[in-house]
Structure 1
Amino acid sequence: MNQHIPLPSTGNLLPIANCWWVNQNQTYTEEISGGFLWSPKTKSNGHRNQFYDYMTDVRSGDIVFSFSDTLIKAVGIATGGAYSSAKPVFDKAGDNWSNIGWFVPIEFTELARPVRPKDHIDQIRPYLPEKYSPLQENGDGLQSVYLTRVPQHMAGILIGLIGREYETVIGRRQDLEQEIVCSNLEAAIVGRTDIGPTMKEQLVKSRRGQGLFKINVRRNEKACRVTGVSDPRNLRASHIKPWKDCTDMEKLNGCNGLLLAPHVDHLFDKGMISFTDNGDLIVSPLLDREILRRWSIPEVLNVGSLHKQAMFLAFHRKWVLKK
């Protein structure tokens, strides 16, 4: 069962599954940019290594603190479990490692203000694990460590030291959890006995912005409201009220959708933008305005009346839009 750890900088309680510490002194550049962890399965002599064995314990949604050059430089979220993989190319490491090992996909966020644990070791020391600790008592790192567990209370201290930047990681974790929920709901539709195969197919397709749902949306929408792109092959039928929150009929209702260019759909789905009923663009305060500039989206924009979608937009503004 997930526990809750106080976030000292904000006072929030954040759910955390498992937390990990990875020592990336040799592999930081490749693993952070590539979005993964990789380790051999055993030592070069064929013996077990607990720090490699831990790779198989990582699960989707787990949090990973990346330590390199005495600093926690990044925090990641696991997007899957470990699987057997050939060794990636490392510029400065790996010559003596076996060619097959464990690969774990991780979505990393580099910190604008890295944290030096040694500077805060008096806070951290009481929560260092007795066995397989990521740090020495004096706060120095351990060269022998690759991946190891971070106890819940120690994780709480690290989160507090990282501060607001950690909220980006939690937001991504919540997105992943929602995706898992939707996938499970989609699978559950296939097993339902109260609807026929045609309805099942349409409901599943609606989750992916396809089939009858997209047809119904196109009856109201002719182009992306933001970009003006009209070729439906380059547009996504995006649910306004999220699919997981909809009734069967709402999943297929054309008024519960907008045709959006993929990058606009991404912002809308993640709650970074929304719209008033009159069509004024609403931009979340959490969205980096530089993204709008680079994607040529005006910060002040009216896309035309959306009164047909008003009921669903009200839900989106209240429950999806990040405030």
Structure 2
Amino acid sequence: MKEKSSNNINPNMTEQNDINYYWVNIGKSKKEVEEKKFLWAPAYTYLKDGKTKTINAGWKHVPEVKKGDILFCQFDKKIHFIAIATTNAYKNEKPEDITYENWKKEGYKIEVDLIILETPINRDIFKEEFKLFYNEQCSPKLFTKTEGITQQYLIYLPKGAGALILDYIGDKSIDIYDRVNENKSRKKPDIRQREAIVKARVGQGIFREEVLNLWNNTCPVTKVKNKELLIASHIVSWQLSNDEEKLDKYNGLPLTPNIDKLFDKGFISFSDEGELLIHKSFDKNIIKQLGIDINTKIEGLKSNHKFYLQRHREQYNF
């Protein structure tokens, strides 16, 4: 593969970055969302004087939703549906049989394709990680100071937050990937490429083979040379990579399980020169207890790696 110039590529210009992520508190409308497959919110409400229009913080981003965007639908502290927008948000009067009778008539509608989770995802399993890296970037903030979920209707999520939640979805991620591609009118990968992409999600297949070969089957941090122990870890997560990046050997590092976990969770990263970076929120003593030299510098990085490492550092605020 021809090397990319990391100086000439804008990390925000990849195909996968045209997807936005949202959290929706569907509340009492859960049944009608499931049956009718749309979301609706008012365009505005009035202040106490009954004359001055104001936009609720939870409605502000509704008009911004585009076809192919992903919305996590939450009810009773759990994500029950993954909704993929099949239309851009458009102006539409409140449906007559909508649950919230006191909402104003003027509003926005989003038609959606639903993936119903057989086992809903409890927000508590990712809450701490979410709060550490992403809560401040949400609009409005998803988690409140009292540890609960904001009562606002729709919340804009940074892309890293969307990827974090999707990682807990498991194999349904493949279904979501297919439906997003369809709604974004992207070229479908052929059968062999799709198989490679699916395997790459869990660090297997041609992606694993090429990553390990590039590094001579050796973890660049611990120097462990044992194929059976190494994990082909994406630098930019599978969820946030386009099809080419999902399979790019330069978007991977062969890491031992402890290093993989630290890197995948954003507790460590690497500079373009290979220097180990430890997140400000993480205890350096734990790194030492794991037998890792905090002054570690990995050797063997290529110019192509820098493009991905920059995005990893940006995602986790290094």
Under a length normalisation based on structure 1, what TM-score does the superposition of the two structures give?
0.48
Under a length normalisation based on structure 2, what TM-score does the superposition of the two structures give?
0.49
| RCO comparison, higher one (Cα < 8 Å, 6+) | 2
Select the structure that is richer in helix: 1
